[in-house]
Amino acid sequence: MINQRCPILEGAGINGALMMQRNEIEKQPSCEDELNTGLLTVAEAQARILEGVTPVAATEALPVRDALGRVLAEDIVSPIDVPSHTNSAMDGYAVRAADLPASGVREFPVPGTSWAGRPWLTPIEPGQAVQIMTGGMMPADADTVVMQEHAERDGNTVRIGSGHRRGQNVRAAGEDIATGQQVFSPGKRLTAADTGVLASLGLGGVRVFRRPRVAFFSTGDELRSVGQPLGPGEIYDSNRYTLYGMLRKLDVEIIDMGVVRDKRELIEQAFHDAVAGADAIITTGGVSVGEADFVKETLEKLGNMSFWKIAMKPGRPVTFGRIRDAVFFGLPGNPVSVMVTYFQFVRPALLKMAGETGALGAFTLRARTTSALRKRPGRYEFQRGVLEQSAPGEFTVRSAGAQGSGILRSMSEANCFILLDPDRTSVEIGEEVEVQPFQNLI
Ligand code: AMP
Ligand code: MG
């Protein structure tokens, strides 16, 4: 360090701080370090971020179909029985179990048919069998259905043998859902099945959470938008494309604020504009050494910020905080770091902001690797992998290629992250690893 004293030069009466010649550099902590003590773990960062966000307060009422993919904001209690009437699960004959023969065969007169939607409204009389179709309402006093394959029809009579069970082939009113039963709770993201259930209850609309509004911008003097020519040292801004794409999967409102130059006033103005319209703000870039100071200064001035160094690769520096009513995620600039930190930290937080409850992270599974994976201990690594099913229920994974944090190409080849925990060192072919598929999620 420059301010260290050099005893030899000091003895000569020369100011060692200015003149010293050292034969070694004292290194600062960097992302190349093998062991990063004092860094935040991935799990700690995830937990702190989730604690720091709350669901949007506003809700809206929507027709059931428009609520598909949205997050339910109310309890759904069934106003009716489903099915609404006791009905047959089979095409056959509705009878009173008491009339069925214990042995031999009995002949039943058939007075008519109960069709689905066209019931036989006369109560069944002792000894009768009413023909019934699947979904047809059970005639009053009938309690059992004999499937037509087990009966012999002859004109207006049917012959039925022994061996039947009381109540067979009958679906009771309310056996799926009973009147007054709680069907769904707030926090459920509505699937096709859910909208089907809501329709089966006769509900025309439901109350859902308003979509979170998410604003994002890229920072960097070197960035040009697609359509502009590249000058020396300039690159195209790809982060706004990956972020846009990943946000599209989430059903949030997206506000793309473009590229913001690395100028204090411009960054500050961008934050002011973003806060005015967004529940969450995501930026990329501007958090590495050199730029850190002034973006940090701006952020500290605007809100409450935590600047984290997370023991992970890629994606070490992440800023999380709050600017007035909006939450802020400051992601690294490198294209793959953006996608990894988004998936691990921002996505679960946005799901919670959208009102969703339950497991917010992506599931993982175990796979045998068919590539050797290089890894140094100390940090959690998210390597890009290609997961394949080798046999039913068995998976293999291979590296998707070069793992540099700027190499987006291998990210587009990949369909999963290979999760290598901090203690792990290099992985040999044939070893088991944990993988996190992200296909269709980002
Ligand atoms: P920074 O965190 O701003 O120092 O950026 C780290 C690296 O990511 C640099 O090589 C940047 O040029 C690159 N980078 C930053 N923002 C973007 C972006 N929006 N699109 C593509 N590369 C970027
Ligand atoms: Mg930058």
Nearest CA to ligand 1 atom 10: 334
Contact yes or no for 311/42 (Cβ under 8 A): yes
Q: Retrieve residue 113's tokens.
A: 């048919």
- Whole-number Å distance, alpha carbon 235 to ligand 2 midpoint, is 11
Distance CA 85, CA 171 (A): 8
DSSP 133-148: -TTPBPPTT--EEEEG
Q: Which ligand is nearest to the CA of 408?
A: 1
Domain that holds residue 69: 60-81+177-209
Give the torsion through C-alpha atoms of 191, 192, 193, 197, to 10 deg. 100
Q: Prior bond to 212 cis, omega within 30?
A: no
Ligand 1 pocket, residue 285 CB under 6 Å: yes
Q: Retrieve residue 168's tokens.
A: 């067979």
Distance CA 367, CA 360 (A): 22
Number of domains composing the chain: 4
Confidence (pLDDT) at 21: 59
Does residue 14 lie in a domain region? no
Does residue 380 lie in a domain region? yes
Q: Which of 298, 327, 353 is the endpoint of a domain?
A: 353
Q: Which of 289, 321, 353 is the endpoint of a domain?
A: 353
Convert the pLDDT of each residue in 381-396 to its tens digit: 999 999 999 999 999 9
Residue 92, φ and ψ in degrees, nearest 5: 175, -140
Same domain? 124 vs 166: yes
Same domain? 288 vs 261: yes
Confidence (pLDDT) at 15: 41
Ligand 1 pocket, residue 315 CB under 6 Å: no
Confidence (pLDDT) at 6: 34
Q: Prior bond to 119 cis, omega within 30?
A: no
Residue from 223, 234, 238, 339 to probe ligand 1 pocket by mutation (most atoms less than 8 Å from CB): 223
Ligand 1 pocket, residue 256 CB under 6 Å: no
Same domain? 343 vs 259: yes
Confidence (pLDDT) at 34: 47
CB under 8 Å to 303, separation ≥6 — which residues? Answer: 321, 322, 323, 324, 328
Confidence (pLDDT) at 290: 63
- Whole-number Å distance, alpha carbon 273 to ligand 1 midpoint, is 22
Ligand 1 pocket, residue 317 CB under 6 Å: no
Distance CA 42, CA 140 (A): 63
pTM of the model: 0.86
The residue type of 384 is R
Nearest CA to ligand 1 atom 18: 237
Q: Which atom of ligand 1 is nearest to the CA of 287?
A: 2
Contact yes or no for 113/132 (Cβ under 8 A): yes
Same domain? 181 vs 217: no
Same domain? 398 vs 337: no
Query: Of 389, 407, 397, nearest to 432 (Cα)?
Result: 397
Same domain? 64 vs 96: no
For position 386, which CATH number holds?
Answer: 2.40.340.10
Three-state DSSP at 338 gives helix
Confidence (pLDDT) at 315: 86
Ranges of the chain whose pLDDT falls below 50: 1-19, 31, 34, 36
Same domain? 284 vs 311: yes
Confidence (pLDDT) at 289: 62
Does residue 432 lie in a domain region? yes
Q: Retrieve residue 332's tokens.
A: 């690294």
For position 167, which CATH number holds?
Answer: 2.170.190.11
The residue type of 371 is S
DSSP class of 346: I
Residue from 30, 241, 284, 405 to probe ligand 1 pocket by mutation (most atoms less than 8 Å from CB): 284
